[in-house]
Amino acid sequence: MLLTSEGTYPFYHGGVSVWCDQLVRHLPEADFHLFAVAHSPRLKPVFQLPENVRSVNHLALWGTEEPGMAGLPFSESYQRKLQTTPEVIERYFIPAFETVVRSSFAGLRSDPVRLAQALHNMQLYFEKYDYARTLTAEQTWNCFLRCARGQTRFLLQEATTCMSWMLRYLAITSRPHVRPDVVHASMAGLAGVPGTLAKLRWGTPFLLTEHGIYLRELYVGIEAMDASANCRRFLLGWNQAVVKMNYHFADVVTCLGEFNRKWQASFGADPSKIRFIPNGVDPKRFFPDRSNLPERPTVLTLARIFALKGIEVLMRAAPIVREQVPDVCFRVLGEVADQAYFERCTAIIREHQIEKNVEFGVTKEPAKAFGAAHVFCLPSISEGLPFTILEAMFSGCPVVASDVGNISETLEGAGLLAEPNNPEDLARALLVLLHGHKAAEMRGQLAAAGIERAHRYYTIERCTEPFMDIYESFAECEQNCQTA
């Protein structure tokens, strides 16, 4: 299996990384080769890889002297550069590049088959010719400008920025892969491109799994970028075209619930290809243990600190809760993924003088953290099916969460929901479980309901075994095709 990732496994922590690690560990009968798109060449795995992970192919989008193929012997690299003449670029590369650029400007209006064929042609081209020399050639720049001129008031500086992104993103077509039996992408963006390319080249079965909705979450990130509207529009269009292409070529697309399924279909996934497979948790790791519950009312949040996790919303809800529960403690455990966003959160703390009510930190023992909290709170702006919600349910820690993604479908009454990005409503839900003579009784009822529901629907076997069934169905189909 070729398991592909983007900004997650095995170099970063987070829910998608946990899912990838669960998958490879609980399917020891399958061999996995990892292809990881990351942001730096200097990263080391943060997960200990099991024996059935046979290789790791790491594509660093940034931080390299030259984008594209890395690790070639000098003689081969030199020969590639010599072969990459202006005539070769114009004849064999520019037609494909023009299709990719025009697809990026078209976004969801792009033709997924034409884009896939162009990326496939690039892949074949870069097996012989030099990536950096091609992408930085005058013909390539002129081609981009021709395409950009068709856009309303697209400035030269904006074209330069967008071309610099293409220089890095298209490097995914320059990386060779082992020929796998199955490509399993853990995201619908760049991580899905190897699946589409293998499908075109070898007819390899392609399975696409989404946790959040890639494009939906991308909208939030791009909107906050320090770039012009034209640049943001181009970057969004590139990702829209890629996601639409990957949905088109995937044999099976898995989702975490009805919320995700609707979004996937709206972005071009064939509804008949979409299958529901939930996330799962190991009940041997997460189980009820309230022996270390402190006297001080404690609200736990386990999340990386960046905009989508809604920590700023929690900080604005905290002073409202403190008015009714003066000694409340908000414990936020997770690495800082966005320093500027973290500073905005700490500014809110100082503004409301709640320094004694908020703790930040990290933990390698999440099970103990759940056992030392009265309530688990996830105030996210966007989610799929968060592992932390499931872990809290297995741990008997009552849940308060934003009503986003598949969370309401997951809880089904075994937790309280709040309107996303609404500090007042979040505070209301938290106070139901922290203030008043019925608060403890309500916490007990939600904890019991969460434990029962978690064991019924969200064990780790329910998460991993269906994927093995899909792998085997692909293999059976291929054998039948060869026999026929």
Q: Tens digit of pLDDT for each residue in 406-439?
A: 999 999 999 999 999 999 999 999 999 999 899 9
Q: Which amino acid is at 453?
A: R
What is the pLDDT, as a whole number, of residue 484? 52
Residue 427 lies in a domain: yes
Percent of all residues in the chain with a pLDDT value above 90, rounded to a whole number: 83
pLDDT value of position 74? 82
Tally of domains within the chain: 2
343-353 pLDDT, tens per residue? 999 999 999 99
* Structure-model confidence comparison of residues 417 and 153, the more confident one: 417
Quote the domain boundaries for residue 431. Answer: 298-458
- Which secondary-structure segment (H or E) carries 463? helix 460-483
Question: What distance in Å separates the CA atoms of residue 22 and residue 285, rounded to the nearest whole number?
Answer: 13
- The span from the CA of 367 to the CA of 371, in Å, is 6
Band of residue 178 on the pLDDT scale cut at 50, 70, 90:
confident
Residues 117 and 209 in one domain: yes
Provide φ and ψ at 285, rounded to 5°: -95, -35
pLDDT at 483 over 70: no
Final residue in a domain of this structure, among 245, 276, 307: 276
Residues 266 and 305 in one domain: no
For residues 83-112, give the mean pLDDT: 97
- Using alpha carbons only, give the angle 362, 316, 378 rounded to the nearest 5 degrees: 50
Cis previous bond, 10, omega within 30:
yes
pLDDT for the residue 481:
63
Name the residue with tokens 């966003």.
Answer: 341
- CA–CA dist 246, 199 (Å, integer): 10
Q: How many other CB atoms are found less than 10 A from the CB of residue 293?
A: 13
* pLDDT (tens digit per residue) in 245-286: 999 999 999 999 998 999 999 998 999 999 999 999 999 999
Nearest to 250 by CA among 217, 280, 272, 278: 272
453 pLDDT exceeds 90?
yes
Same-domain pairing of 203 and 85: yes
User: Between the CA atoms of 410, 223, 420 and 337, what dihedral angle is there, to the nearest 10 degrees?
Assistant: 70
Residue 382 falls inside a structural domain = yes
- Cα–Cα distance, 8 to 14 (Å, whole number): 7
Q: What is the pLDDT of residue 75?
A: 84
Does residue 471 fall inside a structural domain?
no
Domain boundary among 212, 246, 276: 276
Q: Provide the CATH number for the domain around residue 381.
A: 3.40.50.2000
Looking at the structure, tell me whether residues 72 and 162 fall in a common domain: yes
Same domain, 303 and 261: no
Clarify whether residues 217 and 352 are in a common domain. no
- Give CA–CA dist 397/377, Å, rounded: 10
Asked whether residue 251 is assigned to any structural domain, the reply reads yes
pTM of the full predicted structure? 0.88
**Contact of 190 with 169, CB cutoff 8 Å:** yes
